[in-house]
A = this chain, B = another copy of it.
Amino acid sequence: MRADARENRARVLAVARELFAQRGLDVPMATIARRAGVGVATLYRRFPTKEALVVEAFTEQFALCQAAIDEALIDPDPWRGFCTVIEKVCVLQASDRGFTAAFVASFPDLHTEVRDRTWHGFAALVQRAKDSGSLRADFSPHDLTLVLMANGGLASAPVEVAVAASQRLVAYLLEAFRSGTDQLPPAVPLSLDLVLR
């Protein structure tokens, strides 16, 4: 690959990440191209479709999620590990407007590879937290999806507001996850497949 081409590709990706974060996924490809100082054709040569660009632009964030889980599994305090994961992922989601959309948009592709690993990691985290007595027994791993979807609902607000709101929401939820005095409606098996439509 020629040097100038590689540079252009990198610039496109950077611009895409920025615009997706600020304005969500419905930024026109032409806008991204213009802001990156290239023509649309260049953009499409590197990323055959918009979805491809989206996926590539967000793989970094997905890796961060995975890393958060891995790290939490090492934390000697199971409850703190559990909380940290939820807090980290929610901040990530709230501070990047395209995150949720990218997540579902790319799900058919991530397929079982990354997905199952993340899921099992989180399930383990949940079990550890339950065993230590800090997480309520009727918490379901599916509740992670519940949290993600709920938190995603904040994305329509401007970023700083969304982050602040997300922090308060997460604080409320974590408190509810810990105490566990009341009877809950049954857990809903929200595999993200469902969400994907």
Residues of A that sit less than 8 Å from B by CB: 104, 143, 146, 149-158, 161, 164-165, 167-169, 171-173, 175-177, 179, 181-182, 184-188, 190, 194-195, 197
Contact = CB atoms under 8 A, between A and B. Distances in A.
Contacts of A181: 175, 179
B194 A168 contact: no
A157 B195 CA distance: 5
B184 A176 contact: no
27 contacts: A104-B156, A143-B168, A146-B168, A149-B154, A149-B156, A149-B165, A152-B153, A153-B153, A153-B154, A153-B155, A156-B195, A156-B197, A157-B195, A161-B188, A161-B194, A164-B186, A165-B188, A167-B185, A168-B185, A171-B184, A172-B176, A172-B184, A173-B173, A173-B176, A175-B181, A175-B182, A179-B181
The DSSP consensus for interface residues of chain A is helix
Identical chains bound together, number: 2
Contacts of A104: 156
Contacts of A167: 185
List of 9 A-B pairs having minimum Cβ-Cβ separation, nearest first: A153-B153, A150-B150, A172-B176, A176-B176, A167-B185, A152-B153, A165-B188, A175-B176, A164-B188
